[in-house]
Amino acid sequence: MDIGLKEIEYIANLSRIALTDEEKKTFKKQLANILDYIKKLNELDTDTVEPMAYATDLKNVFRKEELTPSLSRQKILNLSPSNVNGFFKVPKVIE
Amino acid sequence: MKYEVVMGLETHAELNTVSKLFCGCSTKFGSEPNTQACPICLGLPGVLPVMNERAFEHSLKAAIALNCEIGRFASFDRKNYYYPDLPKNYQISQSYFNIGNNGYVDIVVKGKKKRIDIHNVHLEEEAGKLIHPEKSDDDYSLVDFNRAGVPLLEIVTEPDMRSIEEVESYMQILRNILLYIGVSDCKMQEGSLRFEASISLCEKGAKVYGNRVEIKNLNSMKAVLKVLAYEISRQGDLLDKGKEVLMETRLWDEVNAVSRRMRTKEEAHDYRYFPEPDLVPVWIDQKWIDETKKTIPELPVNKRQRFVKEYLISDYDAGVLTEDIFLADYFEACVKLARNSSKELSNWIINDVLRELNERKINIQEFTVTPKMLVELIKEKSTVGNAIAKEVFIEMVNTGKNAQSIINEKNLAQLSDVDELNTITANVIEKNPKAVEDYKRGKKNALAFLIGQTMKMTKGKANPKILTEILKEKITTGPK
Amino acid sequence: MLLHELTASKVRERITKREVTAQEVVEELLEWINLKEPLIKTYLCLDEDGALSKAKEIDEKLSNGNKVGLLAGVPIAIKDNMCTAGVKTTCASKILENFIPPYDAFVVKRIKDEDAIIIGKTNLDEFAMGSSTENSAFQITRNPWDIDCIPGGSSGGSAAAVSADMAFMALGSDTGGSVRQPASFCGDVGLKPTYGRVSRYGLIAFASSLDQIGPITKDVLDTALLLQVISGHDNFDSTCAALDVPNYISDIDRLDDVLKIGVPREFFGEGLNTEIKSALMDALKIYEANGAKLVDLSLPHCEYAVATYYIIATAEASSNLARYDGVRYGHRSRLSSDSNIVDMYSQTRAEGFGNEVKRRILLGNYALSTGYYEAYYLKASKVRNLIKNDFEDAFKKVDCIICPTCPTPAFKIGERVTEPLEMYLSDIYTIPANLAGIPGISIPCGFTSAGLPIGMQILGKYFDERKLLKMAKLFENETDFHLKRPKLNQQV
């Protein structure tokens, strides 16, 4: 299974992970290896098989509509790398 | 116009639950930033979502009210994309098994009914709020997560709308439906009702639609109408010049009244939807659907038609009365009490009640004048006259007292006593010989002047009918 | 016997009988940990002060004659991917290096409520992704039986701590074998409960439809005890079953019926170490001697389990790990925080994640991306159903299934780090249970000629942990493998 450099770059961008050229090469090779192994699944005819999306048979699990206390703002912001005036601060987002 | 315009609308309505979709944080609008957040809605490591039952019930109710097909089960999926207001960098939404599919809304444009198909209705979580500093050289943005996780209903139409009027009618009717069934307060100024539009132009009769332009984050119906009008002319101009309309996402710039391209790169909407493993499916049986149906009131379009037929009022008046379910209820309560004066009641409500509500910026549920009080006032009108009745009405709104006690207190009952009126009119005739002469010579206006003078002396309380008769008689028969 | 050598049940008994104080237990244990930790490196964080003050609290309760919990005074180690309020929880990742959760995981709350003492947080493969604990961003944990070998993973720190008597019991998490495999490599008992038996709330997610928390202990009774405490419904986990929890401890020594044990051909074929195979054969004989019937069995789709797993687990992980973006908590890159948001994300994640985590995020996003969803994710979800059906069919014929936990014993440090696929294949026997959602336990059943522990795996029906524990206890009663300790435990 071959996977192109363009594809690696596309996925890296989807994943929001900056890769060096060296890393791109290494991951390209390793992913190709793994995908090659995964190809094994094509031996099975699954046309009539239902996908198993859940690991349990549970259904209709709800919580009652009621208020519970929020976390204190100080506790919330203490976790953050950067904040100002009660807000989380991030590099400028351009729309 | 040589092009056909093809438009579709996505509507986002925040559901009016007190707590968020997956945690117990408050959904209250306008609080201090980041005071309504917890580990769950902040997407801290290790947290899991548990569905708010009422949010799901509201969504089901909306899907049924919008005539959707309800599947045997609904399930949730992750929509993966990075944005700083999205705590987990995926949104729990629905893609594969929505709550409702293939519904419709009937709209009315210029008296003609048209059916707008609904592609799907689904439930998802709201994002937080991103704030851009006012100074353009500030190189940061701010995030408030109070809104993150508020339940959000998305209603997606097919590209069925062909004119701005249709879009307008659809938005109004949809909003009314959501308000009627009580699932959203639809407050556009608070962002709890928002739209995204898609629009393409093609030659009339063409089989293939043109390239589609999407416009995001439209916070008012007016903005939707403006941007669509703008796009119709922009895309029309491009096509006139033989240029291509680019498939892209645009934003509406309210200040400059133009649409512009979004600058953020979107990797071709590769949202990588897959089933949300932290939630389980919701199975919906017929019993649940039937029980939900029972909670859905008569919807605005039907109510409007019924009002015209049953109460013999104009379609326009029926439209005004049914815009708000509580106003419609108010009207019907009045009609029931008064039995037959529906046209007059409708006039009172549309002119006087709505005026007072607007002036006081309150809604009908907060109004001091109950249907019973209004009906009593209208009964009193025959004795006090129209002008006094209007005065009494204002007093009722201000004090909350009923008509009878105001009339008594202020001694506003009409003067119908013939003897007293005889004395007063004699006085008026004596003082205005010229007018009397004029009337005798056939000047009809002169009588109105004399009536006016009498009214002045009785402070408007004179019964106009009796008064007119007495005056006419006195003048024609002459002084005794 | 020194205090730290006792099992959890025994030390609890001695504390509650007031033969020893909880404080003495903690002090003695800390002394031992401080002696061995430099060599084995099991802990990422020791909470000495917290442990001592909790110990005093329990001693006070006891001296006042108050009722105490099921784990009164027992020092427990927690894998560092479960949130502990006020105590650093890192997932062995730089991206959470300084993260202090503001809340307790459900299991942490449960064991605290039962008066356990959390002694520290143990090492793991970063975000539980790995089979050797070599993927920790902070340290390499060694196998107490042979310090040149890996302890297994990803709960390697927990397994090594229990094996080296550096904790009386521990919690691990198991997504593809991460409790059972290190338990097997370190000579411990390790149980992966049925999916939905134990709440995942507060377990930092790797693959949500596969993750399950489980005990790692010195013997079967301790596993039963810890499972008793952590099982049951939680309103904060939609996937957690609302079923009653049976008593796992009472009657653990009684097996009433004649049991039918399934022996799946596919788990004894090519690739299985011969010493392990013969240890398993001997173990099966012990069951036969105790009246069990062996049934030859096929699980035809299990050979596709690893391929299936690496699609589903990575797809879910790619999404679960998207939240580490430097906005609300955790590491943020200093390099680009002034430029634009996309660079900030990409640099933060490049700096914060190790190679294995990156590899899996990339693979997961690939499997979900436009044009590949059907070929990979959907295909794998279908094969997953086939694997589940294999087990459902099998359990119509047998009461449980016995097979090796791993195809090889613990391998050397560094041996498989350059070949991800080879590493992945070491979980070939444990992954099917996660895909199907069934419970599995690994218990010691022998040693290789090199003196490394061998693990036997017993797989059971949904929510039938009770039978697994009884089966395991029967074997333990007949053998003494679980009593053997690493040589290193004697060198004081």
Q: How far is CA C410 from each of CA C142, C146, C453, C479, rounded to the nearest angstrom?
A: 10, 9, 8, 22
Judge whether A27 lies within some domain.
yes
Give the chain C residue nearest B138 (alpha carbons).
C338
Judge whether A64 lies within some domain.
no
- Closest partner residue to C209 among B82, B84, B277, by Cβ? B277
Judge whether A10 lies within some domain.
yes
Measured between beta carbons, the chain A residues lying within 8 angstroms of B47 are: none
The domain total for chain B is 3
Q: A30: domain CATH number? A: 1.10.20.60
**Inter-chain residue contact B272 with C236, CB threshold 8 Å:** no
To the nearest whole Å, the CA of C101 is away from the closest chain A CA by 8
Q: B240 and B389 share a domain? A: no
CB proximity list for B13: less than 8 A, separation 6 or greater? B62, B152, B153, B155, B178, B183, B184, B186, B192, B193
DSSP string, C228-250: HHHBS--TT-TTS--PPPP-SST
Q: What order do you get walking across the sheet with C400-404 strand by strand? A: C43-46, C117-122, C75-79, C169-174, C212-217, C189-192, C440-447, C453-460, C400-404, C260-264, C293-297
CB B428 within 8 A of CB B453: yes
Identify the helix (H) or strand (E) that includes residue C316: helix C305-320
Which among B19, B21, B89, B279 is the top mutation candidate for probing chain C, defined by the most C β-carbons within 10 Å of its own β-carbon? B89
* Domain residue limits at B400: 297-409
**Predicted ipTM of the assembly:** 0.97
Fill in the amino acid letter for C268: F
pLDDT per residue, tens digit, chain C (492 aa), is 899 999 999 999 999 999 999 999 999 999 999 999 999 999 999 999 999 999 999 999 999 999 999 999 999 999 999 999 999 999 999 999 999 999 999 999 999 999 999 999 999 999 999 999 999 999 999 999 999 999 999 999 999 999 999 999 999 999 999 999 999 999 999 999 999 999 999 999 999 999 999 999 999 999 999 999 999 999 999 999 999 999 999 999 998 777 999 999 999 998 999 999 999 999 999 999 999 999 999 999 999 999 999 999 999 999 999 999 999 999 999 876 557 899 999 999 999 999 999 999 999 999 999 899 999 999 999 999 999 999 999 999 999 999 999 999 999 999 988 888 888 888 999 999 999 999 999 999 999 999 999 999 999 999 999 999 999 999 999 999 999 999 999 865
Q: Is C114 helix (H, G, I), strand (E, B) or coil?
A: coil
Domain boundary among B250, B275, B290: B290
Rounded Cα distance between B358 and B337, Å, is: 25
pLDDT, one tens digit per residue, over B403-462 is: 888 888 877 777 777 777 888 888 888 888 888 888 888 888 888 888 888 888 877 777
The domain total for chain A is 1
- Closest partner residue to B139 among C209, C329, C338, by Cβ? C338
Q: B71 and B213 share a domain? A: yes
Q: B37 and B103 share a domain? A: yes
Rounded Cα distance between A51 and C384, Å, is: 7
Identify the helix (H) or strand (E) that includes residue C454: strand C453-460
Measured between beta carbons, the chain A residues lying within 8 angstroms of C337 are: 81-82, 91
Q: B216 and B302 share a domain? A: no
Domains defined along chain C, listed by start: 3-259+402-483 (3.90.1300.10), 303-381 (no CATH)
Give the chain C residue nearest A49 (alpha carbons).
C382
Judge whether A50 lies within some domain.
no
Rounded Cα distance between B3 and B202, Å, is: 5
Q: B156 and B18 share a domain? A: yes
**Inter-chain residue contact A66 with B145, CB threshold 8 Å:** no
Task: Give me the count of residues in chain A.
Answer: 95
Q: B382 and B339 share a domain? A: yes
Q: B123 and B42 share a domain? A: yes
To the nearest whole Å, the CA of A16 is away from the closest chain B CA by 8
Q: B285 and B301 share a domain? A: no
| DSSP strands (E only) in B269-400 | 274-275, 282-283
Domain boundary among B409, B431, B458: B409
Joined tokens for residue A87: 């807000």
Q: B171 and B22 share a domain? A: yes
Cα Rg, chain A, nearest whole Å: 23
Give the chain A residue nearest B280 (alpha carbons).
A59
- Residue in the block written with tokens 């207001």: B85
Q: B9 and B31 share a domain? A: yes
Domain boundary among B290, B319, B352: B290
Rounded Cα distance between B406 and B97, Å, is: 61
To the nearest whole Å, the CA of A79 is away from the closest chain B CA by 10
Q: Which residues of C are catalytic?
A: 79, 154, 178
Averaged over successive runs of 10 residues, the pLDDT of chain B (480 residues) comes to 92 98 97 98 98 98 98 97 97 98 93 93 97 80 97 98 96 95 93 95 87 91 95 94 91 89 67 97 98 95 92 92 92 88 91 93 91 90 80 90 84 73 83 85 83 81 80 72
Question: CA neighbours within 13 Å on the CB side: how many for C203?
Answer: 30
Q: What order do you get walking across the sheet with B193-203 strand by strand? A: B69-70, B100-109, B112-125, B151-157, B3-14, B193-203, B213-218, B248-253, B258-261
Q: B152 and B272 share a domain? A: yes
Rounded Cα distance between B451 and A23, Å, is: 100
* Domain residue limits at A24: 5-43
Report the Cα B347 to chain-centroid distance in Å.
20
Judge whether A38 lies within some domain.
yes
**Inter-chain residue contact A91 with C350, CB threshold 8 Å:** no
Q: B313 and B214 share a domain? A: no
